[in-house]
Amino acid sequence: MKPATKPRSLRESARMMVLDRKTGCFRDSTISELPNVLRPGDLLVVNDAATLPASLSARSPSGAPVEIRLIHHLGESDWKAILMGPGSWRVPTELRDLPEIMGVGNRLEIAETFTAEVIHVAAESQHLVTVRLSRQGMDMWAGIYAYGRPIQYSYLEDDLQLWSVQTAYASRPWAAEMPSAGYPLAWSILLELKRRGIGIAWLTHAAGLSATSDEDLDARLPLPERFEIPQSTIDAIGNTRRLGGKVIAVGTTVVRALEGCVALNGRLLPGQGQTDLVLDRHFQLQIVDGILTGVHDPAQSHFRLLRAFAEESVLRKAWRHALDAGYLCHEFGDVCLLL
């Protein structure tokens, strides 16, 4: 499937395939028609995580180039990260050279006054590490925003600006990569949803990496990710269910947060947590009735996650239609609404 190679000039120009997961029927629409597809009393839950400039160029102790891709903030100046070898985003991730092996205590130089020390190497991969940045507090964030850039992949045309990888409602900088299912939701659409009596609630989920240069690590994606769910969202979900409405997740990150919270606690609870939940055809959804998601190739891990929502035969049929109809994939591409 052809990827979208640059941000859209109009977010709301994205196409939307509406798929009934029970009947297998689908139809072509546009994201601007979402208020007409959903019903008054339904609830849309979005991930308001802002996208970090999570790619930091550095030098190893031997002087070799290393790319640090921040995954999520562990607290203070510590970050879970992936180390990648020489090359830029223009080289396909799977063809990137692996970095030299780093050990605890190795220091990576991002700038003269900004470094990252390796303080832990994961058992799963020598390239999955915890780094401690040399700055603290606001100085740390200033360093990340001064020297970092958005993570991006080789199907794109040009360097991305940080503003171009934010949803319209982005808030706290938690996401390594943009929670892209919400990218087409312009404020005009959100306001029309509310005008039609369709609720909007939010949570924050630290959307992680979609690919690394380590094949074994890629097979483990998505990695554990943190989330925070406010009481107001739990209340909104409860009210929606009592009144017979549907809870629609915008993206798999919202599904992982809500369903992961229930898997951890037996019910939805407000506050922060971390989920290692992996959705597949065996998973029984407890909270979410539908999902707005990107158009994913059957070879991608996201396609596997969608099997919690519909039979694989239905998803493959819809994917073939999207391919023939010229839908665009990846973060600036088109979307599918599974109901």
In terms of pLDDT, which residue wins out, 139 or 305? Answer: 139
- Please spell the DSSP secondary structure of 238-302, one letter per residue: HHHHHTT--EEEESHHHHHHHHHHHHHHSS--SEEEEE-----TT---SS-SEEEEE---TTSHH
Q: Which residue has the tokens 């991305």?
A: 160
Q: What is the pLDDT of residue 209?
A: 92
User: Domains of the chain by range and CATH?
Assistant: 11-51+159-338 (3.40.1780.10), 55-149 (2.40.10.240)
Q: 83 pairs with which residues across the strands? A: 68
pLDDT band at residue 284, thresholds of 50, 70 and 90? Answer: very high
* Stretch 96-100: mean pLDDT: 88
Average pLDDT, rounded, for the chain: 94
| pLDDT of 16 higher than 90 | yes
* Stretch 155-163: mean pLDDT: 97
| pLDDT of 12 higher than 80 | yes
Nearest of 267, 249, 264, 259 to residue 202 by alpha carbon: 249
pLDDT band at residue 299, thresholds of 50, 70 and 90? Answer: confident
| pLDDT of 118 higher than 80 | yes
Least-confidence region, from 69-83, 184-198, 205-219: 205-219
* Stretch 103-113: mean pLDDT: 97
Pairing of strands 114-121, 247-250: unpaired
In terms of pLDDT, which residue wins out, 72 or 145? Answer: 145
Q: What is the pTM of this model?
A: 0.94
Question: Are 49 and 172 in contact, with CB atoms under 8 Å apart?
Answer: yes
Task: State which of 156-165, 205-214, 300-309 shows the largest mean pLDDT.
Answer: 156-165
pLDDT band at residue 301, thresholds of 50, 70 and 90? Answer: low
pLDDT one-digit tens code per residue, 64-89: 999 999 999 999 999 999 999 998 99
- One-letter amino acid at 265 equals N
In terms of pLDDT, which residue wins out, 219 or 299? Answer: 219
Q: What is the pLDDT of residue 215?
A: 81
In 122-270 the beta strands, taken as DSSP E runs, fall at: 128-133, 148-149, 173-175, 199-205, 225-229, 247-250
pLDDT band at residue 28, thresholds of 50, 70 and 90? Answer: very high
pLDDT band at residue 232, thresholds of 50, 70 and 90? Answer: very high
Residues 6+ apart with CB under 8 A from 175: 47, 49, 50, 51, 52, 205, 206, 207
Q: What is the pLDDT of residue 193?
A: 98
* Stretch 265-280: mean pLDDT: 92
| pLDDT of 53 higher than 80 | yes
